[in-house]
Amino acid sequence: MTFLKDEVLSRRTFAIISHPDAGKTTLTEQLLLFGGAIRAAGTVKGKKSGKFATSDWMEIEKQRGISVTSSVMQFEYDGKRVNILDTPGHQDFSEDTYRTLMAVDSAVMIIDAAKGIEEQTLKLFKVCRMRGIPIFTFINKLDRQGKTPLELLAELEEVLGIESYPMNWPIGMGKEFLGIYDRFHNRIEQFRVEENERFIPLNEEGEIDGDSPIKQSGLYEQALEEILLLNEAGNEFSNERIANGTLTPVFFGSALTNFGVQTFLETYLQFAPSPQPRNSDAGIIDPTDENFSGFVFKIQANMNPAHRDRIAFVRICSGQFDRGMNVTLSRTGKSMKLSQSTQFLADDRSTVNTAVSGDIIGLYDTGTYQIGDTITSGKQLINYEKLPQFTPELFVKVSAKNVMKQKHFHKGVHQLVQEGAIQLYKTYRMEDYILGAVGQLQFEVFVHRMKNEYNSDVIMEPIGSKIARWIDEDQVKESLSSSRSLLVKDRFDKPLFLFENDFALRWFQDKNPDIRLTNPME
Ligand code: G4P
């Protein structure tokens, strides 16, 4: 029992939330280097699918088999075992990206100092906030000129609505970047100086004693003034508020030059939570509960027609996983032996023998699992809380190319929807099928799998991006449906409108003030 407890306490499981190009790959690589999980920079970089067009990505998938090598990366540092879950962006952005955030205990938000909060960061942030998980902010690219640190903090508050506590503060920026004033460790960390001179300790007043070249710079004076301002008028440090996600500790640095990354990692490990108890239909389950349990948060299909296997990603929520153990799938009550499991390190796929709460295991799946499924080794069957529905933004009309093959078509659509690969809507009278996705890739994967797994060629007619808003069933009025505000129902028969754009949404609201429009993600 103490073994399990110690193991669980050492786990830190997080995902990075950022907009493409903010530096996620670069930072991840630096972290893996610290952990010794990779030996050279550039290892993760090659996997960056954003560098490829989607068609190339498919080709790469085919050659590589399942591309999950960078889905979960694990390393050890300072006695902690860290799991980084990848949140694919670029063309790979999909509902899986959101769902991954259901499987982590904290998030690291990377912001490009020159760009501030960008669209994808905001979307991912909202999902983290929904869960109330701690968010640690790394403001990147200080080696380049960017917005001022005060502007960036103001943006955090205004755009994201989260208060911040700067753990450190930049001294200069861009060509004049001298380093960071580390409020937390009461020291200065100098940029681009020899390792043995990198840190300058500060006295009780928070200043440098004695001589130091950095003291000659006006930028040092400016940083001191700003720190004074923060001490007087800024937010107070609060462990509790960090833990409930209402205060984000902010770190400044430069991932590319590996500056401030180690300080970030060490402080992060100190404050980030180990796996927390989770809600289930049988009450709260403690991560140190001896029964193994976990839930499926992502299913990755193989794009290679010769290998139809899928991998179901399971976040362990309690107990210990042992290869060959027996578990029950709560949804079906079916029991099975978990002998084929796999865990992913930065570069090669290795078989996992033991894993505990906080870890992610990949199970070979031949169609057994659905997203959100719970498995447990205990006698009592439990179900973890349902994963939320994420509001899609892209829509297509879909139909079978061959009208004689309707059966295959319907079977395929329904199974893929059940599995959680894509969302399905129907128009009111004609019952036309409309598919909704968070990212374009989901459609491509859908077409591919329909053909390869269900032998069904489909016709996809894009209807563009839409804003989906649900309404109460007793407010359904078909006469309100138009091409600019299309009334449809989701797969649970709940009615919603698909608005052409913001303008159409506002116009509709003005005309129909009684209709309450809701977005489950807000
Ligand atoms: P992503 O995974 O979030 O999409 O970002 P990635 O790490 O690939 O970084 C995007 C670009 O920003 C890369 O440049 C990378 O080198 C650069 N970058 C990351 N961190 C820093 C930093 O701290 N300072 C500066 N100046 N640049 C940074 P690229 O030209 O797009 O790629 P590459 O050709 O250099 O690989």
Query: What are the φ/ψ torsions at residue 383 (nearest 5 degrees)?
Result: -130, 125
How many angstroms does the Cα of residue 442 sit away from the middle of ligand 1? 26
Give the residue-averaged pLDDT of 411-423: 93
Nearest to 88 by CA among 136, 50, 46, 44: 50
Percent of the chain whose predicted confidence (pLDDT) is above 90:
72
Asked if the model's pLDDT at residue 235 lies above 60, the reply is: yes
Residues 357, 287, 309, 338: what is their CA dihedral angle, to the nearest 10 degrees? 90
Query: What are the φ/ψ torsions at residue 119 (nearest 5 degrees)?
Result: -50, -50
Give the residue-averaged pLDDT of 2-12: 93
- Band of residue 54 on the pLDDT scale cut at 50, 70, 90: very low
Q: How would DSSP label each residue in 382-408?
A: --BPPPPPP---EEEEEEESSGGGHHH
Asked if the model's pLDDT at residue 478 lies above 80, the reply is: yes
Residues 6+ apart with CB under 8 A from 232: none
Mean pLDDT, the chain, rounded, equals 88
Is 24 known to sit in a ligand binding site? yes
Q: Which pLDDT value is given to residue 93?
A: 85
- Residue of 17 and 54 predicted with greater confidence: 17
pLDDT in tens, 286-307: 999 999 999 999 988 765 666 6
**Alpha-helical segments (H) within 137-185:** 149-155
Q: Which pLDDT value is given to residue 333?
A: 97
Asked if the model's pLDDT at residue 147 lies above 90, the reply is: yes
Q: Which pLDDT value is given to residue 57?
A: 37
218, 149 contact by CB (below 8 A): no
Q: Which pLDDT value is given to residue 38?
A: 60
Nearest Cα residue to atom 31 of ligand 1: 21
How many angstroms does the Cα of residue 26 sit away from the middle of ligand 1? 6
Q: Which pLDDT value is given to residue 56?
A: 36
Q: Which pLDDT value is given to residue 66?
A: 33
Write down all domains in the chain, each with its CATH number in brackets.
14-67+90-99+107-271 (3.40.50.300), 278-376 (3.40.50.300), 394-511 (3.30.70.3280)
121, 137 contact by CB (below 8 A): no
Q: How would DSSP label each residue in 49-118?
A: GGGS-HHHHHHHHHHHSS--TTTEEEEEETTEEEEEE----GGG-SHHHHHHTTS-SEEEEEEETTTBS-
Instruction: Tell me how far apart the alpha carbons of residues 463 and 382 are, in angstroms, rounded to a whole number.
Output: 40
Q: Which of 51-55, 122-126, 415-419, 489-493 has the lowest mean pLDDT?
A: 51-55
Asked if the model's pLDDT at residue 65 lies above 70, the reply is: no
| DSSP-based three-state secondary structure for 284 | strand
What atom of ligand 1 comes closest to residue 110's alpha carbon? 3
Q: Which pLDDT value is given to residue 59?
A: 42
Is 86 known to sit in a ligand binding site? yes
Asked if the model's pLDDT at residue 353 lies above 60, the reply is: no
Give the residue-averaged pLDDT of 243-257: 97
Residues 410, 421, 90, 40: what is their CA dihedral angle, to the nearest 10 degrees? -130
Instruction: Tell me how far apart the alpha carbons of residues 257 and 433 are, in angstroms, rounded to a whole number.
Output: 50
Tell me the two tokens of residue 47. 């996997």
Sole residue written with tokens 């755009």: 159
- Pocket, ligand 1, Cβ cutoff 6 A: 18, 20-26, 48, 140-141, 143-144, 254-256
Query: What are the φ/ψ torsions at residue 115 (nearest 5 degrees)?
Result: -105, -20
Give the residue-averaged pLDDT of 371-387: 95
Q: Which pLDDT value is given to residue 74?
A: 82
Q: Which pLDDT value is given to residue 345?
A: 38
How many angstroms does the Cα of residue 46 sit away from the middle of ligand 1? 13
Instruction: Tell me how far apart the alpha carbons of residues 33 and 493 are, in angstroms, rounded to a whole number.
Output: 49
Give the residue-averaged pLDDT of 395-401: 96
Nearest to 68 by CA among 283, 475, 385, 346: 346
What atom of ligand 1 comes closest to residue 29's alpha carbon? 7
Nearest Cα residue to atom 30 of ligand 1: 21
Instruction: Measure Cα distances from 282 to 286, 316, 385 in Å.
Output: 12, 17, 10
Q: Which pLDDT value is given to residue 352?
A: 57
What residues does 362 pair with on adjacent strands? 313, 342
Give the residue-averaged pLDDT of 44-50: 43
Instruction: Tell me how far apart the alpha carbons of residues 447 and 392 are, in angstroms, rounded to a whole number.
Output: 17
Is 414 known to sit in a ligand binding site? no
Asked if the model's pLDDT at residue 52 lies above 90, the reply is: no
Instruction: Tell me how far apart the alpha carbons of residues 382 and 394 are, in angstroms, rounded to a whole number.
Output: 34
Which class for 197: exposed (0-12), middle (13-18), buried (19 or more C-beta within 10 A)? exposed
Walk across the sheet containing 394-400 and list its strands: 458-465, 394-400, 433-437, 423-427, 485-490, 495-499, 467-470
Give the containing element (helix H, strand E) for 467: strand 467-470
Is 18 known to sit in a ligand binding site? yes
Interstrand relation of 179-182 and 187-190 (parallel, antiparallel or unpaired): antiparallel
Asked if the model's pLDDT at residue 342 lies above 70, the reply is: no
Sole residue written with tokens 């989770």: 278
pLDDT in tens, 175-213: 999 999 999 999 999 999 988 899 999 999 999 998 889
Give the residue-averaged pLDDT of 477-505: 94
Q: Which pLDDT value is given to residue 90?
A: 74
